Structure 1
C-alpha cells in the first residue's frame, strides 16, 4: 500500500474519518425521523454557541486529555492500556482520601497533594498488570480490562462500607470542605470576563494542558522517552541495544496509570466535591478513541479531546432539545472510534491512489 505523506496521515485521514462518521450519523437520524441539520445546529449552539456551552465542552475535554495521554504513553511503549477507567476511579479514591484527611485551609494547598495522590493511586493500579506483562508475559489488554471491573467493585465496597457517612443512604463519600473546591473559569481572573456564570470547567484544564506539554517533552526530548519509543517500534532491536524491557514496560505503564488517575482531579475535586460511584464517567474508554484519533501525539490528543468534549456536550443538548434520543451521542462516538481505529486502513486505501502518482 502506498505510504501517505505525513500531512495526509495527520490531517486528511482523520478529517475524512470524521466526515464518514458524520454522514452515517446523519443517515441514522433520518431513519429515526429526525432532522440532521437541526441536530447539528443544536449541537453546535449547545456546545460552542455560548460561554456556558464552552464551559461544559472544556470540562469534558479536560478529562479526555488525561486519559488520551495515558493511552498515548503506553502505546509508544508497545502497550495497549485499556485500563484507564479503573485507574481513573482509583485516582478518584486518592483524591477523596487526601481531601477528607485534613482540614485544608485553601485549595492551592490541597491541589498538589490531591494530584500526587491521584497519580500514585492510578499508577499503583496500573503497576500490577504492568508487572504481569513484564515478568510473566500476561497480555496487557486482558489484565487491564479485568482490573477495570475489580476497581469498580472495590470503589462500590469502599463507598458503601467505609467512606459513606453514618446515616447517609446514597453510596458516596462525605462532601469535601468548601476551601478545597477548585476555582472554575468564572472565578479565574481574565477568564471571568468571558465566563460570567459558574461553569464546570475549572483550573484542572490548565493542568491538563501542562500534562500535554509534559508528555511531549518526555517522549521526544528525554532519554527515557527515546527508550520508550524505541522499544515500542521493535522490542527485539531495543533489547539488543541494551534497553531493559522490564524498565520500559513498568515505567511507561506507571506514567500511563498516573495520567489516568489525575483525570479525577477534574471530576472528583473540581466538579462533584465528593467521591461518587462512577467518578470516571466513562472517560477511560473515550481516552482510547482520543489517542487513536490524535495519532498518539499530545497535540493530536488535545484536539481530539476537544472534539469528543463537543460530542459529549452537544449530544446532551441534542437529547434535551430535540426528539433525537441522547443515546445517539454514543453512536456518534462509536462511529468516530470505528473509522479512526478499526477502519483506519480502509480510509488510507481510499486515499492511496491519489498519492501513488506523486510517489513515482
Structure 2
C-alpha cells in the first residue's frame, strides 16, 4: 500500500506552548489508524492538521503525494466526524447527508440519490424524511458518518465520535465503523482516549503523549510488547517494576528489582536503570518450563469480573494485579506463588 497521509517534520506551537513536537507520521491507503492518548496529548491537534482545521507551525502535510499544508478543509480530500455530530435540526436526514454534495453544487436529484445510498450503507434505509429529533444517539452518529462518506473522502477523520454513547451502543458502533471502513476502502484516522476502543478497531495504534509519539504499531504488539514506559502504563493495566541491570547472561539480563533478582530476555548495559512490565493476565499460579518465579505473596483484595477474578497480591512491599481464573477459587488472605513466562516480560528503557 502507498502512503495516503504523510506528516513530515510537523510541529505545532500555540502561544509559545509546544503542543506537538517535531514528528513524522505516515498512514497507508485503506488503513484504519487510531491516535490514542490522554487529554492534552496532542492527538486532536494532529487530526486537525490533517483536516486543515489547524496549520502546522513547521513541517508539511501530504495526501496522496500532494502537499495540502496550506489548503483549507474544503479543498482537501478529507471529511470529519466530530463528537457532537453537528447535524442540522431543521433539515431532514436526507438533506443532512446531502449537505456536502450541495456545497459542491451537485445536482439535487443526484445528491438525494447518493444520500439514500449512504443511509442504506449505515443501516438507516428509508429514514431520509425523518428529522434529527426523531433519532437516538446511535442513529445520529450514523447520519454523521453517512454525511461524511457521501462526499467520498480519501481520508475520513473521526474526533472521538463515540464518546457520548453508552457502552453497549459504543461497542456496536465500533463494529460498524470497521465494516464501513472495509467497504469504503478509505483511510480512517480516529482519535480516542479509550484503549479498548483503539484495540477493537485499529489496524495500527499511534500512542501520543505530550505531543510526542510514544509507540506505534499493530494493537497486539503495542499491548503485549510496548515500546515505552508510558505506553505500557497507558495501554490497559500493567505491573511495572523498576530495576537495575547487574549482569548480562548470554542473551538474558539479570535485573535487581523489589522482587529480587529476575533473569529476563533483553539487551541493556550493565548498571542501566530499567523497568520490567507484565500484564495482569500474564501472571499465573503454577510454573511452566519457560517461567520465572516472582515469589510468594498473599491475596489482599479480590473482585469477580465474570470471565476472571481481578486480584491484588502483595509480595513483600510490591502490590501486583493478576487476573486469575474463576476456577482457581482464590479468596482474600490466601497465600499463593506467582510465576510468569520469561517471553512475556517486557524490558523498558525509556
More strand, by proportion: 2
TM-score, reference length from structure 1: 0.20
More helix, by proportion: 1
Tell me which structure has the larger Cα radius of gyration.
2
